[in-house]
A = this chain, B = another copy of it.
Amino acid sequence: MPVGTAGTVKAVSQDILEDLGAQIILGNTYHLYLRPGHELVRKLGGLHKFMSWERALLTDSGGFQVFSLSELRKVKEEGVSFRSHLDGTSHLFTPERSMEIQIALGADIVMAFDECTEHPAERERARTSMEMTLRWAKRSKDYFEAHKHECPWADRVIGRSGDRVIGKTEESVPAQPGAAAVHDSITKLTAPALFGIVQGGMYADLRRESAERTVEMDFPGYAIGGLSVGESRAKTMDMIAAVLEILPKDKPRYVMGVGYPEEIVQYAAMGVDMMDCVLPTRAARHGLLFTSEGRINIKNARYAQDQRPADPKCACRVCARYTRAYLRHLFVSAEPLAGVLNTVHNLAFYLDTMRSVRHAITLGDLSGILSGDVS
């Protein structure tokens, strides 16, 4: 899922996202709550209408941004009080408040309010944090179930967008026993879906316990949060593997905030269905391009006369038209088009990568993809 922090995937217009085949994008509750404000978005018909995006939207809970961006953060049982990074004003996010905001924004998938455990964390601290996330998940679910039909498009979805569905679609069904049952979970949306989030720090047993107790609450999808916070990649994979053993295969399984192209291929092969990451968009704005030949830093002088496209194997609108020499010129000249074109290419690369993964899953052979041949 491309990340559209403040109601826009930075530098890319919605028609291009559609052309790129983005099926779902992510919005950040923390950012949209602060600006333009969830009540404004609700009043204008919800985030879909506000940003003119008919395809699926997911909002995070706000917990991670409060953890990473805000000042003077204070976590209590009730929730998290913090000061805005924009203007220093005081705010309180609770599970109920996060649900209220996300329902007002009107995403298709709403995330339970969790605490992203800091890294490193001692075992007892990780358990305490995990226990609070579980209590917050319960409070999130209670509030969400009581209020989900207050979402701006609830029960009116057919009139607004007739084909937005939740659940695994045929293209993404894993080629493994039991997968056929997944089709039953495809239903027209009449209200958003709430996903639970697994925490537990870097302790596999806590992760498993968190997964088991979250699954007991019965969500329509599950996320694995609190990863990619500074741990080794081997540790990330261990945690994902431990949790995937517990999470039901017939529900979407979402790893939050990952990763590099080779990572997302690995995780998909392990059974992960959804991922989001700012990497393709943020790296693009810093001149880092992902290609079938590896990463290239477009500002490097070696590209000044390079007439090849960013990625000779890529068919995106940027690679079809512009040379590395031109992209380098735009970047070193700090031209706004640099961010636009770099982002479009990186998103194309990521979305193409996931298309290849889905194709390989359909064919039942992920070996080529896992060996690094994602072209």
Contact residues, A241-257 vs B (CB, 8 A): none
Residue of B43, B326, B340 touching A52 (CB-CB under 8 A): B326
Q: Is there an interface contact between A305 and B340, defined as CB atoms closer than 8 Å?
A: no
Q: Does A277 contact B (CB under 8 A)?
A: no
Interface size class of A (residues with CB under 8 A): 35 or more
**Docked CA distance A317–B305 (Å):** 34
**Docked CA distance A340–B12 (Å):** 9
- Give the residue name and chain of the B residue nearest to A44 (CB): B325
- Give the residue name and chain of the B residue nearest to A6 (CB): B333
Q: Does A72 contact B (CB under 8 A)?
A: no
Q: Is there an interface contact between B36 and A340, defined as CB atoms closer than 8 Å?
A: no
Residue of B35, B305, B322 touching A333 (CB-CB under 8 A): B35
Q: Does A312 contact B (CB under 8 A)?
A: no
Q: Is there an interface contact between A10 and B335, defined as CB atoms closer than 8 Å?
A: yes
Q: Does A323 contact B (CB under 8 A)?
A: yes
Q: Mark A271-286, 1 if CB is under 8 A from B, else 0.
A: 0000000000000010
**Docked CA distance A317–B337 (Å):** 18
Q: Does A76 contact B (CB under 8 A)?
A: no
Chain B nearest CB, measured from A298 CB (Å)? 13
Contact residues, A1-60 vs B (CB, 8 A): 6-8, 10-15, 35-36, 40, 43-44, 50-52
**Docked CA distance A325–B46 (Å):** 12
Q: Does A197 contact B (CB under 8 A)?
A: no
Residue of B15, B35, B36 touching A317 (CB-CB under 8 A): B15
- Give the residue name and chain of the B residue nearest to A325 (CB): B44
CB contacts (< 8 Å) of A326 on chain B: these are 7, 50-52
5 contacts between A and B (CB under 8 A): A11-B336, A13-B341, A35-B332, A36-B332, A40-B325
Contact surface of A with B, Cβ cutoff 8 Å = 6-8, 10-15, 35-36, 40, 43-44, 50-52, 285, 304-305, 307, 317, 321-323, 325-326, 329-330, 332-333, 335-337, 339-341
Known: A35-B332, A52-B326. 17 other contacts (CB 8 A): A7-B329, A8-B335, A8-B337, A10-B335, A10-B337, A11-B337, A13-B340, A15-B317, A36-B329, A36-B332, A40-B305, A44-B307, A44-B323, A50-B329, A52-B321, A52-B322, A285-B336
